Structure 1
């Protein structure tokens, strides 16, 4: 126990914690993107609203969510501490050394990229998480004929909604839910919000291209056999596919829906 505190408070310890929380956040991005692909279904939000309820009420998922929130906070704090200490350790630029020659643009600007992402997370949580958990989204009812598979929907008044319900009567399944899908549709009518989301996803791409590779370097994965694989996943998976997937959602609602 006596040796753990100095290790965790050292520069290497902080980088290790940042790397582990960063990798955890990367796994969350994959799950979150897969779930949010329900937004592209042409079913008036039926699949997405059921997914939203599951993600906010299934106990193991709720526990992971709290770990996620903690990871975001810890990752941001340690990034800030490292930036401050690195700057303090080198208060003036060396006249005969240009750091730009040995570093990429995104590695030099991780602080700026991270700040954009923190503002994005706060905006995203306020628009969707907060309103969903505080009963500030519309309500909807879906009725599915189990014989034909046809689903119809209608908007519910607040007086008609008590909680998420699934009932079956006369071979008709009725689902009452909070309509987070409609809230998404409403939020992305704002072109400024859509533009900010796209900008934030560009920041996410640059942040992950550098951060994903650096995280594995910090935890000691540097074998020549695995480094090219990590770089490929970091660039094409987390730097291209995931940010584009998230960016397409606001663009889809603004231009198509």
Structure 2
């Protein structure tokens, strides 16, 4: 199964007010293993950043002037995500902005939901941790994911952290080597379990007289607490003796 962990940054919070994407970042996983492949781009939004958005992301208007427009990157972006399951935190926000950009680029591009299934990790976290804070930072802290490098919100680092959070929430484990920056030359390592061949008969350890006596005393105590019929172990012994 191919999954893409996706995050975006925007000029502001309201797509209905004409706010636009300024960054898209995607991290690839196959069979729950990060592959080392990612796709990321900054975008010229053709409008000014809100001051609050600049403070949160560290992205300023002058940094985006020479960046490509979404229409110039749309085919490359869709080729990377096509057919994958998208993993997004607060998916309705990101998908809303992506769908708006696709509509601007041309009706033939359709919507994100036409190409990918979407899994919302915020909805998953709210179900698993009701009544608690479920921001990405809060989940990192709760699940032991190191987010010390996240001074500002950034698409790629947020996607990398979300991949770790998702793995922790869904399996109780985080991949030990996410290898986001450099893919392994040999690719993912397959672990093959070989059957064990016994070269000699296993040693059988038998209880000595003292251990057997202690065992009987323990069963006597269990019989007293179990009441009529005695303990489960004594009933089993009687049934085996009668068989």
TM-score interval w.r.t. the shorter chain? under 0.3
Structure with the larger helix share = 1
**The structure with more radius of gyration:** 2
TM-score, reference length from structure 2: 0.25
Higher relative CO (CA 8 A, sep ≥ 6), structure 1 or 2?
1
TM-score, reference length from structure 1: 0.24
Structure with the larger strand share = 2
